[in-house]
Structure 1
């Protein structure tokens, strides 16, 4: 089966041949040659269209695959979260019971379980009461593309920005 890019090259070549044939001194009087080129072009256009339809169908099948993969990823992430929560619950359960029983260390052939002293942590009771020297300010500078685009479309000049046409897009309805 011929690849789409090969079909495109052949179509361009045939269109150029047709254009050059019609521009010759005969003015395109040779009807049989023009008819043959037109017939070939029509056949190739149909094959090209069939190939394009097949490509879109394949792309839609891939889209279905990605939807299924996204659902599976979500399911697995939820399962991972449940497993991690269960693991933390078990560790907290063991820690609580070791503390209550007064056990600081449990040894077995595979590993040792030890209750370690907790680390110092800062707990903020009221953020607004903190002095400025203990507060970080985060500033984000980012162009407002929507406002810039509106201004450019309205005819304004915005230094450092210009309105350009993006690449063509493919729409399948």
Structure 2
């Protein structure tokens, strides 16, 4: 007998997906087993669920790590491709399958040091007493040529792939 092998009635109950706490308790109460058999099967079921939770937690972490890896790899490839096309000073590249065009997107606001950001670019109400840098106000000021200590604009150039 498997460590997590449940009795037939308990297995049928474990396979259901419509169990709310009241229905679960009523159904468990209606199973005609000795008290020790019932407790033993419920303990097996709990251990089986613990194993499922551990497996799913590891799988979720693995999927999250893979997603992060692929996003970073995509960003690195896009940077490389944009740089390669820009280095050759090309406006458009035609391949057998794609048309690649580098273009400028809205510049990114980079906050180098939050402590140096002047108070007029902070939003104190957002976090009830804690400050939050208003990046859109910083962007507008930098775009208008003003100097904002602790921040700068970073070019955002990418390739469109068609």
TM bucket (normalised to shorter chain) is 0.5 to 0.7
Q: Partner of 2:28 in structure 1?
A: 4
1:44-103, Cα deviation, whole Å (9 max, x unpaired):
8x7022112101111111111110121122122222222222222211111111111111
- 2:59 paired residue number: 72
Distance 1:63-1:117 versus aligned 2 partners, 3 A rule: same
- TM-score of the superposed pair, with normalisation by structure 1: 0.49
Q: Give the whole-Å Cα distance in 2 for the aligned partners of 1:89 and 1:120.
A: 18
Structure 1: which 5+ residue stretches go unaligned? 8-43, 141-173
TM-score by length of 2: 0.52
Q: Which residue of 2 aligns with 1:122?
A: 109
Comparing both structures, which one devotes a greater share of its residues to helix? 1
Call closer, same or farther: CA 1:114–1:79 in 2, change over 3 Å: same
Instruction: Mark the structure with the bigger radius of gyration.
Output: 1
**1:110 Cα deviation (Å)?**
4.1
The alignment covers a number of residue pairs equal to: 103
Q: Are 1:4 and 1:48, in contact at CA under 8 Å, matched by a contact in 2?
A: no
2:61 is the counterpart of 1:61: no
Structure 1 129/84 Cα, relative in aligned 2: closer, same or farther at 3 Å? closer
SS of the residue 2:93 aligns to = strand
Aligned equivalent of 1:139: 128
Root-mean-square deviation (CA, aligned residues, Å) is: 2.7
**Post-superposition offset of 1:125:** 4.9
Report the secondary structure of 1:116's partner residue.
strand
Which is strand-richer, 1 or 2?
Answer: 2
Question: Which residue in 2 is equivalent to 1:48?
Answer: 35
